[in-house]
Amino acid sequence: MTGFDPLEFLERAVKTPSHESVAEMRGLLVETLESADVEASVDDAGNVLAERASEKDGPHVVLNTHIDTVPPHVPFSRGGDRIRGRGSCDAKGPLAALLVAFLAAEPARGKLTLAITPDEETDSAGAAALDVEADAVIVGEPTGLDVCNAGRGRFQGTVTLRGENAHAAHPESGVNAIASLPPVLAALESFDTRDPHAELGSPTLTPTTIEGGTATNQIPAKSSFVIDRRSVPPEGAEEFRESLEAHLQDSAPEGVTVDVSLAARDTPFLEAFETPADSKLVKTLRQVSGGEVRPFGAATEASYFAQVAPTVVFGPGVLSDDEGAVAHGPREYVDAEEVESAADAVTETLRELLG
């Protein structure tokens, strides 16, 4: 494919808001593919799908990233090699790089699928709806050209303590659910006893919001706090919920019951994943990119794909730099040279896997 300019596309993409609706950005993507004589479709979940295939049997490789961004929209600007604006690195820069590789691909065997999802930043309904039978998946996210073969998962839940109401003038006649919080909160720190994961380290368990009580002159019968869990393999969501509930109940004062419930979702939680460092996908992409093999620093839809195929996270840009947040921040940026380097690395990887 000749004539596709990833930086021109990236400029248009960053100028296109996609924090409230992805409709305009999805239209730009479909228009870009069709202008390159590639048939693109949009499925019922809002995924943009395209394919390049050989008549000869071979591996099925999937290129994935997302087109939604977090609010607020940050306008496009450019100074020299640096492209700024919301989505520049998360994940429209990676998308531009994947498009270069997809449009340049001429599989001598096997099949290449482009699968771009609409809601990675929220519920991942698009990714959950994909029925992917792949042999390798590259997920575009800002990794600074490192090859990320593992990542933590993210679960969210609510811990609820229940006691018994009473008049505040006679506190001994009730069971105070707010006064019972300190030992339960302290028990969060003693929950994880496993050895750290070889690549991802230890999981984290963090209380983030808290509430309780309904009247200023009443002993509260209920209090609750929200927890954020960043998991490591092999922990699953329900296993975590059950074991945390039992652990916290053991620490609660007499008369207090503890309930741990996971946040309601229509899609599975993004669980931790790990692809062996010696897999062909990891070794090939590392060799051509020159990047390190390391874990990714955030939860991604790679979690879904890794359940069916070797999966890596790769792309231009960084989540943060020495000055602070980049992705999701007001100073979000990506360097044009990194976008081009990422495109070259994925292009060469596809040649190796499908050539």
Selecting among 11, 119, 120, 235, the annotated active-site residue is: 120
**Among residues 82, 123, 80, 117, which one has the least CA distance to residue 98?**
117
Q: How far is CA 311 from CA 62, 132, 236, in A?
A: 9, 12, 18
β-strand partners of 28? none
Residue among 68, 119, 141, 332 flagged as catalytic: 68
Q: Is 68 a catalytic residue?
A: yes
What is the token pair recorded at 183? 């030992």
Contact 302, 313 (CB under 8 A): yes
81: annotated active-site residue = no
Report which secondary-structure segment, H or E, holds 334: strand 333-335
Q: Rounded distance, CA 127 to CA 89, Å? A: 20
Alpha-carbon gap, residue 62 to 309, rounded angstroms: 10
* 229, two tokens: 């869990």
How far apart CA 166 and CA 221 sit, in angstroms, is 8
Instruction: Tell the burial category of 308 from Cβ atoms under 10 Å away from its Cβ (0-12, 13-18, 19+).
Output: middle
Task: Point out the residues that are catalytic.
Answer: 68, 120
